[in-house]
Amino acid sequence: MTIFDNTLDADGALIVGAGLAGLFTALKLAPRPVTVLSPKPLGMGASSAWAQGGVAAAMGEGDSPRAHAQDTEMAGAGIVDHGTAEGVTAEAVARIEDLARWGTPFDRDDFGNFELGREAAHSANRIVKVEGDRAGWAIMQAIIAEVRRTPSIRVVEGITALSLARDNGRIIGVYCRRLGDRYSEPIYIRARATILAAGGLGGLYAVTTNPPGVRGHAMGMAARAGAIIADPEFVQFHPTAIATGADPAPLATEALRGEGAILVNDLGERFMPAIHPDAELAPRDIVARANFRQIQSGRRVFLDTREALGADILTRFPTVSKYCHDAGIDPVNGMIPVTPAAHFHMGGVKVDERGRSSLPGLWVCGEASCTGLHGANRLASNSLLEAVVFGARIAEDIGGLEPTRKLTPFEGIEWDEAEGNKAEEVLRNTVAVQELRRIMGDLVGVERDEAGLKAALRQIAHLEATAEQVTSAFLNMTTSATLVAAAALLRSESRGGHFRLDFPEPSQDWEHHTEMTLSQALAIRAGA
């Protein structure tokens, strides 16, 4: 291990990522010291803030954690960990109470009871919401305010993690750079406990609902350090991203279909009832494939909210309404054009029930992790729930390692908006990144086959070999892309978010999780 001259000490636990998972963990660690690394100012660039639906919790009359767990297992297509599902759903109410105590203004009725919404594949109304479709944003605003009030939490903005630091097999911190500074020596931040909470990988795809910086960096870093990765092939494509041509694509929340909105093609045909008994509220992978096949056949697909909501969409779903307004779409009198888009990664760094990875010293939570909760297909609004449940568990697990002490200031690291935005645009528009996103969208997308996956692996290898500048950030991306494609090639069946045209049915032989290291994925890539 190399120690650089510019070494900083976290003075406690170190959290990479400032979405809900990272900040919730930091708050649960208080008053023990913790340093949170965020590439951008808090609230910018985190997928959590973009979540529209809400948090799933069995709080309604006649509902139960057991029923919530059963729905989770049903949606996960046979490979959800039963114990994880039961444990997470049992903790849901307590975590909702945490969020409410920290100021989240959840929707309530006149008697103070939570107003619960319904989303696909749930057997009951159990989505705790804010203003219809603003849950992620509202939760993050409340959490950020609480973080700012907590003296034991040091937030370092304008810094991006590149790789994990190891010593004798243990993770002892991270190597970072100031955002936009590609040439100075990396900064080494050491810590006895490192928590990776830096999001998923939607930005590896040409069409995604994720913030621009969410490109598989977290999983890539962990894999390059030797961590076991689980279920990387299971990528969830949201069926109703708004087809405006924007990058990333704005999202039309599933809650609209929960309110009765329907899908039709440009011939006015409603096609979902013939595909699944739950029609528009079928599991996401089924709806996404139905939309994808309509588009592949030359049709356009629309979400029609007119009869279900009419003008109420403007007040009940203000986020979607604003997206439509900005794109020149009138959802009251017209229909919303939609398309499938990479949305959520069910796979990630394999962790146990305490959030511990296979690497000593490294815990992982949020979308960067694979807890076994989601199986092959995440149940709607379980992602924020997973983030807070495992954030609390990780804080409890490592809390005894960190005595209370005073944080020392970090000097010379601060967010520069102009430099940060410039760095993001430069990375986003490089030929290699654009080509990687095309490969993933065309060959490792909603539908896959052996020939396409092998071609994808060869092309990713070629990109690594020929890219003008192979940085750690780019290697994290290609590492994650390789893991997804290699695992998809290995899994010769269709299950949940993974659909193989050449193996369209599920197989009992594959009714288990995938576990893979980077060296194993590279061996598969070499043979493609």
Residues 6+ apart with CB under 8 A from 143: 20, 23, 24, 27, 99, 102, 104
CA distances from 401 to 10, 350, 352, 430, 510 (A): 13, 22, 18, 42, 39
As a whole number of angstroms, the distance between CA 391 and CA 405 comes to 21
Does residue 286 contact residue 274 with C-beta atoms inside 8 Å? Answer: no
Instruction: Mark whether 215 is an active-site residue.
Output: no
Choice among 177, 284, 437, 495 that is catalytic: 284
Tokens of 87: 């444990």
Describe the strand order of the beta sheet including 170-178 as a list of residue ranges. 7-9, 187-190, 170-178, 159-167
Kindly report whether the peptide bond that precedes residue 186 is cis, defined as omega within 30 degrees of 0.
no
* Residue 304, both tokens: 């029609």
Query: 328, 244 in Cβ contact below 8 A?
Result: no
Which H/E stretch holds residue 433? helix 431-443
| Exposure string for 45-81, b = 16+ CB within 10 A, e = fewer | bbbbbbbbbbbbbbbbeebebebbbbbbbbbbbbbbb
DSSP states of 62-90 as a string? T--HHHHHHHHHHHTTT-S-HHHHHHHHH
> Of all helices (H) and strands (E), which one includes residue 478?
helix 472-490
Residue 126 phi/psi, 5° resolution?
-145, 20
For the annotated catalytic residues, the residue numbers are 284
